[in-house]
Chains A and B, each alone.
Chain A
Amino acid sequence: MPPVAASTPQSPLVAAARRQEAAAWDALLKAQQLPLYAYVAELVRDRDAARDLVQETFISAVKHIGSLREDDRFVSWLFGIAHQKCLQHFRRSRRFWERFQEAPGELDCQIDEESADAREQLLSSERTAEFLSLLEALPPAQRSTLLLYVLEDFSLEEISAITDVPLGTVKSRLHHAKRALRELVEEMP
């Protein structure tokens, strides 16, 4: 199942959703519910909490659709709401919140521009099992960036908007995430 963000024109559905048409909301949320849940569940590592956060995200989206500026950005807007809900969840737990903060020197790292189609070998289909098992070892901020990159094929600019961090930080996090995964793979027997 390919990501819906880039392939499906959603403007008519979003326009109907702005009129609070239940059928349009049903279609929009149904298309995104599983990727959204996967993102939240992988980030918070608690399935009960993930369900609550996804429900809160759905309710917030229906209530605050007026804050969506561009209809074509619906998916990234929805993930942005979910991301904010996750941050609120982390803030309730001091330990997780501290882990989510920037790692020292992260912003200083200069990363070359990466093309979207030149995916790392680590993210290729042959290494999927390793990817899933090692994802848990990443710090939450890097995990969040990598998940958004892999799950919905969001551009770096979209990830920057969703996570509300500068573009340079997104590039840095993605670079660190890939490097950390590569190192973990190399350490594997």
Chain B
Amino acid sequence: MKQTPREALLARHSDAVPTLDALRRAALPPPPLSAAEFLRELFLPARRTWAALALVWLLLATFQVSTRNAPARPSPSGTLPQGFALCSTSNAQIDALLSETRALR
């Protein structure tokens, strides 16, 4: 039976089909992951890193809770912080200056 050039060309290379099947399968996109597989893929390869991060987070949370429950340090009674006093003084001076300006008008 006579072959067309196309059929002859394909027949000439037909012994490569098993290799081509393997190449094709290797190139296929991976199937989508389920949620459980996704989490496993996310955590398992770096589980020590994730554990270390969790430990650091726990330490920070413990420190935060312990400092929140500690009693507040009392400030000296009847005195304002130094910065606040300076700010109040300068405000009073500005008020006085504005009053004088209005009076001159």
Write the residues of chain A forming the contact surface with B, with a CB cutoff of 8 angstroms. 1, 3, 20-22, 25-26, 29-30, 33-35, 37-38, 41-42, 47, 50-51, 54-55, 58-59, 61-62, 123, 125-126, 128-129, 131-132, 147, 150-151, 153
Q: Could you list some 27 contacts between A and B, CB below 8 A?
A: A1-B10, A20-B29, A25-B27, A25-B28, A25-B29, A29-B24, A29-B27, A33-B20, A33-B24, A34-B10, A34-B14, A37-B20, A38-B10, A38-B13, A41-B13, A41-B16, A42-B9, A51-B16, A54-B20, A55-B26, A62-B29, A125-B5, A131-B5, A131-B8, A132-B12, A150-B9, A151-B10
Please encode chain B, from 10 to 45, with 1 for each CB lying within 8 Å of some chain A CB and 0 for all others: 101110110111011111111100000000000000
Q: Given A29-B24, A51-B23, do A34 and B5 touch, yes or no (CB 8 Å)?
A: no
CB-CB nearest in chain A for B28:
A22
Nearest-neighbour CB distance to chain A for B13, whole angstroms, equals 5
Known A25-B28, A35-B6, A37-B20; 10 more pairs at CB < 8 Å: A1-B10, A26-B24, A33-B21, A34-B20, A55-B23, A62-B29, A128-B4, A131-B8, A151-B6, A151-B9
* A51: nearest chain-B partner, CB-CB: B19
Whether B16 contacts A150 by the Cβ 8 Å rule is no
What is the CA–CA distance of A42 and B31 in the complex, to the nearest angstrom?
34
Interface size on B, residues (CB 8 A): 26
Contact indicator A128/B3 (Cβ below 8 Å): yes
The smallest beta-carbon distance between B20 and chain A, in angstroms, is 4
B27 touches A58 (CB 8 A): yes
Interface pair B5/A150, CB less than 8 Å apart? yes
For residue B2, CB closer than 8 A to chain A, the reply is yes
Say whether A125 contacts B24, CB under 8 Å.
Answer: no
Q: A54-B23, A58-B23 are in contact. Are A35 and B10 (CB under 8 A)?
A: yes
Residues of B contacting A3 with CB < 8 Å?
6
Q: Which residue on A lies nearest to B32, using beta carbons? A: A20
Is B7 positioned at the interface, with any CB of A under 8 Å from its CB?
yes
Q: Are A125 and B4 CB-contacts (below 8 A) given A34-B17, A37-B13?
A: yes
Instruction: Known A1-B10, A38-B10, A51-B19; judge A128-B28 contact (CB<8 A).
Output: no
Smallest CB separation, B93 vs chain A (Å): 69
Write the nearest CB–CB distance from A53 to chain B, whole angstroms: 10
Could you tell me the distance between the alpha carbons of A126 and B2 in the complex, rounded to whole angstroms? Answer: 7
A59–B9 CB distance below 8 A = no
On chain B, the residues within 8 Å of A62 by CB distance are 27-29
Chain A nearest CB from B26 CB (Å) reads: 7
Nearest A-chain residue to B4, judged by Cβ: A125
